[in-house]
Structure 1
Amino acid sequence: MPTSRTRVNLLLLTAATLIAALVVAVGLARGNEPDRATFSAPPSAATVPSATATTVPAASEPPDGLPVIAYADGPRGLPADPDPESATALTEALRPQTRMALYDAPGGRPRAWLPPRISGLPVVVPIVARQNGWAAVLVPAANRTVGWVPEAGWQSEPLRDQLVVDLGERRLTWLREGAEQAHWTVAIGTGATPTPLGRTFVMGRTGTSGSVYAGLDALVLGSVPEDPEKMAAGLQKAHTGIHAWANSSVFGKDVSNGCVRTPAAVQRKLLAQLDPGTPVVVTA
């Protein structure tokens, strides 16, 4: 015959069992889910993940000593532009307010800092692709190169203009919102010092010295000489430019050190109309 203490224990055990059963019943009634480590019910149609859903790769912390992109010192380790000669209009750009790390892939390794200014020029880089919460931008001081940044902490700004340089035709075309505004015959680089192919952009403008430039500023591009060793010493760390040329006999010819030479009237129009970040694509 059970003692008084045994009866009490039995009553407590029975009460605990009833309470546990009640908790499970209430939990199921409220839609609470059992621990997925021990039980996994098939999801309903409303909770099946979308086939296009993606996970945003996290950005790793940039290491100490990450190099900063400079005018004469481009980045290393970043990937090639996936579509370097595409003439599709690029319509948005990134303008960093503080330095931003450029990664070699979405969620990949940081390779360089992109500063807000380079040699006094404001940095405005066209966006060429988006993937899994990251954006790829054209990189200054490196030909046909992109860097990835997480889409957080910045806002894109619109681009309206585009320049297309057709090397075969020695022609420069200006488009605004996809519509051609004008085109002109220009001079381009020689076989030894070619105008770099691919997508780049206008970094800004700089002064020139000498009457041959018609007293007009040059537009500095993000591209640099393909083979610096073949350039004169003073141009080995220069950038490609678009600038006026006073001698009209050069137009339609391959005569420059890689720059695009324009008539003075054309250069005035470009200087008046184009903003930093304007995409430029050079095609064969």
Structure 2
Amino acid sequence: MGFGGVVGRRWTGVGLGVAILLGGMAYTGWALIPADRPAWVGRPGQVTTPNAPETERAAETERAAGRPSTSDAAPPAPPAAPAPDDLPEIDYDPAPAGFPEDPDTLDTTALAQGLRPERRLAAYDAPGGRPLAFLMPTVSGVELTVPVARREAGWTAVLLPSANRKLAWLPPGGFRTVALADQIVVERVPYRLTWYRDGIAKRSWRLSLGQPGQETPLGRTFILGRTPPPEPVYGGVDIFALGAIPDDPDAVPTGLRGAHIGIHTWYHDGELGRSTTNGCIRLTSSGQRLLLEQLRPGTPVVVVDELPTPPPTA
């Protein structure tokens, strides 16, 4: 497992210490490496969108055209309770408790929008509910992009970083949205990872996954960023860190506590199709290099036992 900076070939190192978990080894003090190029915002020709919910944007379009909007009569969004200044910030450590479960966590429908906080945002347990923590514009110095999972009553739910199968609800304001073209689907039973773009399967690879007691967590998560490999055993290929963490932190070796699940390669492919990792997702060097070239932070990742129908790239 692993965590690091954002995708790109030109990156400037920043000394930010994080804990990581990589195929049975623990390291601290890894650097996240922020980008020095403009952020990618999705499909070619698409631009970032304002932070108003889609219903509000549709209403504005109707009004501009001189037509009444059916959403004008909709009830206002539940107000956001003031957030105390001493709430914890969501960072690389496990997220605070109290956030709701993701009801669609095994849904493989691609999440097409990501959300980027533009300031410190109070995160709530429901629309109009309790503020539990602050969602920050960066995690360990890397710009945060979280997939949008649901919208309700003018509020937006996003996949929670540093947690498994949890949502955080955000009131309107203080963020922008970007397009997400890609998706990764991991199947535990056939040990298969498939990369999708715009809903079309592009490539599939055979994997190694978490050993008994340290299984790769099921459900929806996303790519937080990437980091360089610490040792030659990782094949000299950068590592993706996901928003997911081990389901049972006490089951992993002591030196791996507080680590995140990652996607990375290994110095040989002899363990593909087997459960040998501490929960990480391990694939071939060529596959990892291609994904590093193509994927950006915020890319949704969903882990299921098995798809009803194998992808055409299987």
Q: Same fold (TM over 0.5)?
A: yes
Q: What amino acid maps onto 2:192 in structure 1?
A: R
> Displacement of 1:51 after TM fit?
11
Greater length-normalized contact order (CA 8 Å, ≥ 6 residues apart)? 2
* 1:173 aligns to 2:194 (yes or no): yes
Largest Rg, 1 or 2: 1
Q: Of residues 93, 117, 122 in structure 2, which corresponds to 1:72?
A: 93
- Cα pair 2:160 2:166 within 8 Å, conserved: yes
Mapped pair 1:275 → 2:271:
no
Percent same amino acid among aligned pairs? 46
Q: CA deviation at 1:75?
A: 2.0
With over 3 angstroms needed to count, the CA separation of the structure-2 counterparts of 1:52 and 1:90, relative to structure 1, is farther
Could you tell me which residue of structure 2 aligns to residue 183 of structure 1? 204
More helix by share: 1
Select the residue among 50, 54, 61 that pairs with 2:82: 61
Note the aligned Cα RMSD (angstroms): 1.6
Map 1:14-163 to 2 at 5 A.
53-163=74-184
Match of 2:263 among 242, 260, 266: 242
- TM-score, normalization: structure 2? 0.73
In structure 2, the residue matched to 1:16 is: none
Q: Distance in 2 between matches of 1:212 and 1:174?
A: 24
Q: Distance in 1 between matches of 2:174 and 2:119?
A: 10
- 1:166-208 deviation line (CA, Å, top 9, x unaligned): 0011000000010011001011001111101000000000122
Stretches of 4+ aligned residues off by more than 3 angstroms: 49-52
* Deviation, structure 1 residue 232: 1.3
Q: Deviations over 1:232-273 (max 9, x none)?
A: 122111000000112211101111000000100001001111
Say whether 1:206 aligns with 2:227. Answer: yes
1:225 to 226, 246, 262: 246
Confirm or deny: 8 A CA contact 1:229 1:236 kept in the other structure.
yes
Distance across 1 between alignment mates of 2:174 and 2:138: 18
Number of residues of Structure 1 aligned to a counterpart in Structure 2:
237
Report the CA distance between 1:50 and its aligned residue: 7.9
Deviations 1:21-68 (A, max 9, x none): xxxxxxxxxxxxxxxxxxxxxxxxxx9x98983331001110131111
The 3 A distance-change label for structure 1 pair 154 and 118 is closer
Counterpart-to-counterpart distance in 1, 2:143 and 2:258: 19
Structure 1 Cα separation of the partners of residues 266 and 73 of structure 2: 52
SS in 2 for 1:155: strand
Letter in 2 for 1:69: I
Q: Gapped runs of 5+ residues in structure 1?
A: 1-46
Cα deviation, residue 280, structure 1? 0.1
Task: Report the CA distance between 1:116 and its aligned residue.
Answer: 1.1
Residues 75 and 141, structure 1, Cα contact 8 Å, conserved in 2:
no
| Residue 35 (structure 1) aligns with | none
Distance 2:141 2:276 in 1: 29
Structure 1: distance between partners of 2:125 and 2:278:
31
Give the Cα separation in 1 of the matches to 2:96 and 2:230.
29
What CA distance in whole angstroms lies between the structure 2 residues aligned with 1:223 and 1:56?
30
Q: Deviations over 1:71-109 (max 9, x none)?
A: 123122110101111000100011112111110000111
Distance change (3 Å), C-alpha of 1:58 and 1:206: same
CA displacement at 1:119 relative to structure 2? 1.5
